[in-house]
Structure 1
Amino acid sequence: MTKLSKDNQTDLAKKRFRLILKDGVNIGVDKMRVELPQWFDEKLFLRGQKCFNTNFYSIFLAGFIGLVAVLSIPTILDVLILTNKSSNPYAAYKRYTETIKHVLKWYHYDIHNIKSKSRKSLSIVSGFHCAAAKTSFNAGLGIRVNQKDMVLTQFGFIGLVLLKYKNLAIQISEDDEMALVHFWRTIGYLLGIKDEFNLCNGSLEEVRSLCAEIMSEVYVPSLENPPPEFNNMVGYLIEGLKPISPLNDFESFMKFMWRVCDLPERKLTNTRSQITYNTQTFIITVLLTKWWLVWFFRPVMNFQIKMAIWLNESFPLFAAFKFGTKVFCMNSISNVINKKDN
């Protein structure tokens, strides 16, 4: 295959970007697909899963930032507000801890077996998308959860990994990047994204160029001039995930996010936020970057976030302290579902 020049890659990215924005807005997502696509490469997919687990902390952080960025897209935010599933800290806790569980299942379990936890999770998420699309249409919002919105959401999981891996201290080779791109192309396909719109369809550099186009033309303007409800929804998300990331607060997280995304610097108004921001920056720029430290601290940080997620799922004491004993009911239902999956 002839390798495209940088200019040609940029031109192709612009062309695909226009296609996504113009045509993708009028096409809904396909129903959950059962069969894997002909282009599926198991070796690449498994390497993508392995790369995630090697960089668990940093890629998890990239996804967290991506999740916040997605809230700046008005058409997506409208659906989230309409469905009322993240309109307060507890609702956000329920929604986003479930999101984390789903994504981790995709990264950890067999994609071939239609009865695996990964496939059952994809089926559940696909059902959520269909229900949200129907609710939005009935509410007069038109075609929502469309191909464009799905691609912009797909960006939230992979875009920053490809564009800002240095800012996030992600240790990754080109082969690893290709594997992660293939992983998310497959997940997108199974969730109903058509190949012509799929963000991860194409060579590594074509996908990176498209991500750069989406970042500069969609996310940067949206983050600099977000919808009116953006700050509230981000605040609910951050408060909702305090049981997993207790030190995060709105100001420090947004300043760190702006730094990662190379946006104009945000000011902090209190000492606590400054300490939290300095700590997160130190972790990324020193502990996970300096070669004489990273060999020790990358596994430590990976373990720390894995343990926080596991504790919240198995013994949600911090969540119960914050939101009340109703979280035990929520986790009991989730555990029953997980047992059925087994």
Structure 2
Amino acid sequence: MMKERAWTDDFLNTMREQCDPLADETVRNLFQQGKVPATNALMKQLVVNEQVSLEMLAPPLRDYFEQTGQLPSWAEPRLILQGEELFGRHGPSIVTALFCASLPSCYAASKLVQVLHLTARLESNPYRRIVETMQMIIDVMAPGGLAQGGRGLRSAQKVRLMHAAVRHLILQRGTWNSEWGQPINQEDMAFTLLTFSTIVLRSLDRMGCVLTDAERRAYYHAWRVVGHVMGIDARLMPETPEEGARFEQVLQRRLFGATPEGQMMTRALLQLMEHITPGNLFDGLPATLMRHLMGKDTAEMLAVPASDWTSLLMGPLQALGWVSHEMVDLHGPGAAKLAGMFGRRLVEGLFWVNRGPERVPFRLPTTLRDSWDVRGWERA
């Protein structure tokens, strides 16, 4: 375990130069052997079709999946199951937290956002990576996602390899600024993992969701397991949510800063949320939630617009019977219901948002569709 006293700037600076030797070597071999197109096709099938055998993969890729497909010795199935159960109960609110706190927190990290911005510029569809990130999160936290051969385990392995491919392509271009450290380095990966765990847990608190200490430990533990699968250094994954929250503060001090790229990515994220939620009823709510969940300083850093959502939409939503005065008070007891309703609309929008030609449709297991009361997936 990485003790708090060892979270020094010198140590973390060295982590900015460390990446993922196993995945990076696999990608180098695939490029050298000219197997990238075939690999892309097989990896798509590997995640979508649970019956696809690793024996179908080229040796470098097969070796990679075999070596990275084991959970750590410290993984506790009971805690993973409890983390999945929390995700099942609070999933729509967690989706709101991911869109309105986790992703924008990554954009506030002035060096981390550079690789996200470069990747977005290389994409023909500006929303593709956001949707694929949400897909991985749902895959790993769905029931059985982290079981041996589970869809979530394979999804995490695929994203880990994709990170290595992005590193390879960016460094090949020769335009990367070495002052940012290595692209998708260990420190940036560790912070990203915390946005999915500690930042989500804190956001649920701010939305009025009531969690037990045991539920917090379980959810955090499940994400530590995901971090292991994705190749994050064990010294960068504190054991408890309390230690994780302290480490998050250390990393925010080191990483946060206003950048044009971060503000641009935040605008794109807000536009996506406005685009995939129905009609105009939720206009302004994403910005309001970002400010509420992240706090004024980070929101200002990202140029999140000030939005008086309640005065704009209180009347129309009340007329539909969707909200009460209690719900639109984001500090009140009804806020969790509003956040869950908004998260449900976001999930429904993910089913039909265009990610470009030949992209795998967004997937949500039947158990989660039912427990979250998600509609519209049949028409996607």
Distance, in Å, in 1 between the alignment partners of 2:355 and 2:210 is 37
8 A Cα contact 1:129 1:145, kept in partner: yes
Distance, in Å, in 1 between the alignment partners of 2:210 and 2:276 is 24
Partner of 1:240: 272
1:13 to 2:46 alignment: no
| Candidates 239, 244, 259, aligned match of 1:227 | 259
Residue by residue, what CA displacement relative to the aligned partner does 1:306-325 show, whole Å, maximum 9, x if unpaired?
A: 46524642xx2xx4xxxxxx
8 A Cα contact 2:285 2:307, kept in partner: no
| Identity score, percent | 17
Distance, in Å, in 1 between the alignment partners of 2:194 and 2:314 is 25
Structure 2 counterparts to residues 62-211 of structure 1, below 5 A: 62-64=97-99, 65-84=101-120, 91-138=125-172, 139-141=174-176, 142=178, 143-198=182-237, 201-211=238-248
Partner of 1:285: 331
Question: What's the CA shift for 1:69?
Answer: 1.4
Residues 263 and 312 (structure 1), Cα distance of their counterparts in 2 relative to 1, 3 Å cut: closer
Matching residue's letter, 1:334: V
Higher mean alpha-carbon deviation, 127-136 vs 304-313, is at 304-313
Q: 3-state DSSP class of the match of 1:55?
A: helix
Matching residue's letter, 2:84: Q
Question: What's the CA shift for 1:227?
Answer: 0.8
Residues 117 and 93 (structure 1), Cα distance of their counterparts in 2 relative to 1, 3 Å cut: same
Matching residue's letter, 2:73: Q
Partner of 1:261: 294
| Candidates 6, 9, 16, aligned match of 1:25 | 16
Question: What's the CA shift for 1:270?
Answer: 6.9
1:305 to 2:350 alignment: no
Distance, in Å, in 1 between the alignment partners of 2:355 and 2:264 is 26
8 A Cα contact 2:104 2:266, kept in partner: yes
1:334 to 2:360 alignment: yes
8 A Cα contact 2:208 2:333, kept in partner: no
8 A Cα contact 2:156 2:230, kept in partner: yes
Distance, in Å, in 2 between the alignment partners of 1:262 and 1:310 is 27
8 A Cα contact 1:92 1:240, kept in partner: no
Residue by residue, what CA displacement relative to the aligned partner does 1:21-43 show, whole Å, maximum 9, x if unpaired?
A: 22210110353621111001000
Question: What's the CA shift for 1:99?
Answer: 1.6
Question: What's the CA shift for 1:85?
Answer: 5.1
Distance, in Å, in 1 between the alignment partners of 2:292 and 2:361 is 38
8 A Cα contact 2:140 2:146, kept in partner: no
Residues 136 and 283 (structure 1), Cα distance of their counterparts in 2 relative to 1, 3 Å cut: farther
8 A Cα contact 1:177 1:204, kept in partner: yes
Higher mean alpha-carbon deviation, 258-267 vs 121-130, is at 258-267
8 A Cα contact 2:288 2:306, kept in partner: no
Q: 3-state DSSP class of the match of 2:260?
A: coil
Partner of 1:41: 76
Residues 277 and 236 (structure 1), Cα distance of their counterparts in 2 relative to 1, 3 Å cut: farther
TM-score normalised by length of structure 2:
0.67
Matching residue's letter, 2:274: K
8 A Cα contact 2:127 2:355, kept in partner: no
Distance, in Å, in 2 between the alignment partners of 1:38 and 1:127 is 22
8 A Cα contact 1:48 1:179, kept in partner: yes
Aligned residues: 300
Question: What's the CA shift for 1:51?
Answer: 1.1
Q: 3-state DSSP class of the match of 1:28?
A: coil
Residue by residue, what CA displacement relative to the aligned partner does 1:243-270 show, whole Å, maximum 9, x if unpaired?
A: 4335555x75445323333335869667
Question: What's the CA shift for 1:156?
Answer: 1.6
Question: What's the CA shift for 1:188?
Answer: 0.6
Partner of 1:61: 96
TM-score normalised by length of structure 1:
0.73
Distance, in Å, in 1 between the alignment partners of 2:8 and 2:203 is 20
Residues 309 and 269 (structure 1), Cα distance of their counterparts in 2 relative to 1, 3 Å cut: closer
Residue by residue, what CA displacement relative to the aligned partner does 1:158-209 show, whole Å, maximum 9, x if unpaired?
A: 22234454322232111111101101100111011010122xx323332232
8 A Cα contact 1:109 1:116, kept in partner: no
Distance, in Å, in 2 between the alignment partners of 1:96 and 1:334 is 14
Matching residue's letter, 1:127: L
